[in-house]
Amino acid sequence: MTRTLFHGGDVFDAASRQAAKADVVIEGNKILEIGTGLDGDEMVDTTGKTLLPGLFDCHVHFTSSGDLDLVNQVLRPFSIKYFEAVANMEATLRTGITSVREAGGSDLGVKTAVERGLVRGPRMQISIIMLSQTGGHGDGHLPSGACFASYDPYPGNPRGLVDGPEEMRRRVRELIREGADVIKVATSGGVLSPRDDPRHGHFRHDELDVLVGEAEAAGLFVMAHAQATEGIKAAIRSGIRSIEHGIYLDDEAISMMLEEGTWLVPTLSAPRAVVAAADAGARIGETILAKAHQVMEVHSDSFRRAVEAGVKVAMGTDSGVGPHGHNLEELGLMAESSSMSPGDAWFATTASAAALCGVEDQLGSIEPGKLADLTLLDGELADLTKLAERVSAVWKDGRRLV
Ligand SMILES: [Zn+2]
């Protein structure tokens, strides 16, 4: 088998969160060696560049393409989203992201198409659809009585609305039957839903306990869309692994996260994408836009306090709310909004994210025996500007894709 040597540049070390000069050798789909003075059958010159493990985005929606215009959404043919997903997955790969958690929208068919090589895309853990209470963040009913069809069930995609512990038990089991790798639940209201409030906690503890119990029985983790303080605390209490968005974090919620080892996936890009879409002329409901403005400032402040306290962070963008392929802008936002160093931001995008997803034995750092997912960045890690343009090559499973 051909041994490929990466030589001349820096390599990111997840443990120290720093880059240093080193050689890396891969063979087949595995990383063989890291060190100095290594040789191989062919060489990739990495002079002036930094080699990173394949990057993670822990919160994307491939079947959404950042078009938030209400009228456009209502008039879109149902199946166009699967074709758009092909371009969205390609854009994600091109930015160096080789693994994602799909936070809602992609079903087993999308994942299988990538695995079979019919289309190109990152490795993915799919949640299929977010579970939400009636009137919650996943309830697509509009004040007119119309309802977004994307929330209706179809083969492979169970209904997302659920009320009561018994319905919850069945629905989680249905999601597992349909191929979910992770269960997603909304434990609070959100921004992109017309009739709920991001400050309200959703689902009661009996419902969340059943949800986590059923997921655990199948060996799956749970991710919670959680913006409200009460929704965040309820999620932590019930043993949910990650808080997505985490907008209204108070000190008690932060210390609970530290105690339970809960991850924060901040998605600082998301409310900014909503405001940017409105500025560009997208017809977004007034209530939705007001909510986006309302959460933006408090969101950054919550994130800053969580980082200061030492909460575990994994990078996630909510791409799909905004266009795909801009994922790495989140690193700059994280560093600007908090005391995170660039090394911390890369750690959140690699080793920490892999640990959140439970794949740290295979991915997330450049170590012998791990899978050969690699991203080559022009220049230094400390520079978080124009990252998308600086990703010059990407390998997934030992194969160069970009
Ligand atoms: Zn999302």
- pLDDT given at position 150: 55
Dist CA 120 CA 396 (whole Å): 10
**In terms of domains, do 212 and 295 share one?**
yes
Domain contains 216: yes
- CB atoms within 5 A of ion ligand 1 belong to 103, 318
Q: Which domain holds residue 21?
A: 3-52+364-400
Do both 395 and 269 map to the same domain? no
Predicted local distance difference test score (pLDDT) of residue 195: 76
Return the structure tokens found at 389: 């343009």
> In terms of domains, do 16 and 116 share one?
no
**197 and 239 fall within a common domain:** yes
**pLDDT at site 43:** 98
| Residue 60 CA, ligand 1 centroid: distance in Å | 6
pLDDT value, residue 196: 84
d(CA 261, CA 253): 12
Same domain, 147 and 24: no
333 inside domain: no
CA 246 – ligand 1 centroid, Å: 12
Task: Quote the pLDDT of residue 15.
Answer: 95
- What pLDDT, on a 0 to 100 scale, did the predictor assign at position 143? 80
pLDDT on residue 118: 98
Are residue 66 and residue 40 in the same domain, yes or no?
Answer: no
Phi, psi of 4, rounded to the nearest 5 degrees = -100, 125
Q: What is the pLDDT of residue 68?
A: 86
Q: In the prediction, which pLDDT does 231 show?
A: 96
C-alpha of residue 132 to centroid of ligand 1, in Å: 13
Tell me if residue 325 falls in helix, strand or coil.
coil
Establish if 193 belongs to a structural domain.
yes
d(CA 123, CA 117): 11
Same domain, 60 and 42: no
Q: What is the pLDDT of residue 193?
A: 78
Q: Are residues 26 and 167 in the same domain?
A: no
> Which residue's entry shows tokens 């994602």?
100
Give burial (CB, 10 Å; 0-12/13-18/19+) of 146: exposed
Q: Is residue 357 part of a domain?
A: no
In this structure, are 47 and 64 located in the same domain?
Answer: no
Distance CA 321, CA 385 (A): 22
Q: Look at residue 359 and tell me if it is in a domain.
A: no
Question: Residue 289 has what pLDDT?
Answer: 86
Ligand 1 mean position to 59 CA, how many Å?
6
Tokens of 23: 């050689």
CATH number of the domain encompassing residue 121: 3.20.20.140
33 and 80 fall within a common domain: no
Q: What are 140's two structure tokens? A: 């697509």
185-236 residue pLDDT tens: 999 988 877 778 888 999 999 999 999 999 999 999 999 999 999 999 999 9
pLDDT in tens, 161-183: 999 999 999 999 999 999 999 99
Mean pLDDT for the chain overall: 95
Q: What distance in angstroms lies between residue 318's CA and the mean position of ligand 1's atoms?
A: 5
Q: Report how far ligand 1's centroid is from the alpha carbon of 374 (Å).
A: 26
Find the 26 Cα to ligand 1 centroid distance in Å: 35
Q: Count of domains in the chain?
A: 2
The encoded tokens of residue 64 equal 């959404």
Q: Tell me if 105 sits within 8 A of 130, measured CB to CB.
A: no
Distance from the alpha carbon of residue 32 to the mean position of ligand 1, in angstroms = 36
CATH number at residue 37: 2.30.40.10
343 within domain boundaries: no
Spacing, Cα 27 to ligand 1 middle (Å): 36
**pLDDT score of 141:** 83
* Dihedral Cα 328, 329, 335, 340, nearest 10 deg: -20
**What's residue 149's pLDDT?**
55
Residue 354 lies in a domain: no
Stretches where the chain sits below pLDDT 70 are 148-151
- Residue 378's CB: how many other CB atoms inside 10 A? 17
Residue type, 329: E
pLDDT at 151: 64
Contact 129, 175 (CB under 8 A): yes
C-alpha 259 – ligand 1 centre gap (Å):
25
Measure the CA–CA gap between 394 and 377, rounded to whole angstroms: 9
Residues 199 and 274 in one domain: yes
Residues 26 and 62 both lie in one domain:
no
260-274 pLDDT, tens digit each: 999 999 999 998 998
Instruction: Report the candidate in 192, 68, 60, 184 with the shortest Cα–Cα distance to residue 137.
Output: 192
Enter the tokens of residue 343.
Answer: 């090394």
Q: Identify whether 108 is part of a domain.
A: yes
130 alpha carbon – ligand 1 mean position (Å): 9
